[in-house]
Amino acid sequence: MVNIHEPGPLEGRLEQWPVLAVSGALEVRLAETDIEVEAAQRLRYRVFYEEMSALPSPDMREARRDFDRFDEVCDHLLVIDRSLTDEDGQPAVVATYRLMRDVDASRAGGFYTSTEYDLSPMLTGMPDGSRLLELGRSCVLKAYRSKPATMQLLWRGVMVYVARFSIDLMFGCASFAGTDPKALALPLSYLYHFHRVPLEIHVRALPSLYVDMNLMPKEAIDPKEALRSLPPLLKGYVRAGAGIGDGAVIDRQFGTTDVFIYFPVSKIDARYRSRFGMSA
């Protein structure tokens, strides 16, 4: 088990206690300045556009940053390696997650996920006063992906954020590399047959983008083999108790096949609650 410790209890506004957890030279906290947000965007560009096959806009290519209209209203969770510095002489950002609450989405004209999925059944079906959190733009610098502390710190940060803002539901898109659904028949069919959200939620890919995930019969699927075929982040979601929406979406810009993640906080597996210090 990675030794992760809390710097202290949170009181008042989260931004007054930016460091959420520490493990050796790594720490997780929220971005507080434009420079820190830009560092997260540069990491996203490096991972999505240089390492993977995403297609940047001319402005992104010139700035060497991944950005969109949602960034300015979101909170940006950062894992920082204090033993390294970046081009601005700041501690290096080695992992990031973009967090958007419902109050932030209202200022941005909606959630990013709404560009791929019809969220209206989910949003209208939530009890009054429910608090929602969209998770997105998760990425980790290649050299840090094999270090357990990196993802553990990211998730510890998310859970502290969830507790601070009394979040009821997390959701967003998770991605497979590649844009050929047939090549992803096993994992997509596994998610369809074994992890679909309840019918009453019925979050579905937009009609113009909908890709059927039912590509193999349930009896032809070896669940253990299928689980191993999932990307690490997506595997973590379903192991922790997340459900999957109806239909995949091909994201041509990012060169990925996306699925919808539905993750009520009340459904988080007890093992994950214990690992990240959440109360029952």
Q: Give me the residue spans of the domains in the chain.
A: 1-110+131-167, 121-130+169-280
The Cα 62–Cα 28 span in angstroms is 29
Q: Using an 8 Å Cβ cutoff, are 122 and 262 in contact?
A: yes
Using DSSP's 3-state secondary structure scheme, residue 230 falls into coil
Integer CA distances (angstroms), 31 to 27, 87, 101, 107, 199, in order: 12, 17, 16, 19, 37
Query: For residue 86, which of 117, 120, 42 has the smallest C-alpha distance?
Result: 42
Please, which pLDDT band fits residue 18 given cuts at 50, 70 and 90?
low
The Cα 28–Cα 19 span in angstroms is 6
Query: For residue 172, which of 70, 89, 244, 77 has the smallest C-alpha distance?
Result: 244
Instruction: Specify the pLDDT at position 278.
Output: 57
Say which CATH architecture domain 1-110+131-167 belongs to.
3-Layer(aba) Sandwich (3.40)
Q: What percent of the chain has pLDDT over 70?
A: 90
Q: What does pLDDT average to over the chain?
A: 89
The Cα 245–Cα 201 span in angstroms is 8
User: pLDDT (tens digit, 9 = 90+) per residue, 158-174?
Assistant: 999 999 999 999 999 99
Q: What percent of the chain has pLDDT over 90?
A: 73
Categorise residue 178: left if φ over 0, alpha if ψ from -120 to 50, beta otherwise: left
User: pLDDT (tens digit, 9 = 90+) per residue, 116-150?
Assistant: 999 999 998 888 889 999 999 999 999 998 888 89
Question: Strand runs (DSSP E) across 87-245, as ranges?
Answer: 91-101, 117-118, 132-140, 169-177, 204-205, 243-244
State in Å, rounded, how far the first CA of the chain is from the last one. Answer: 21
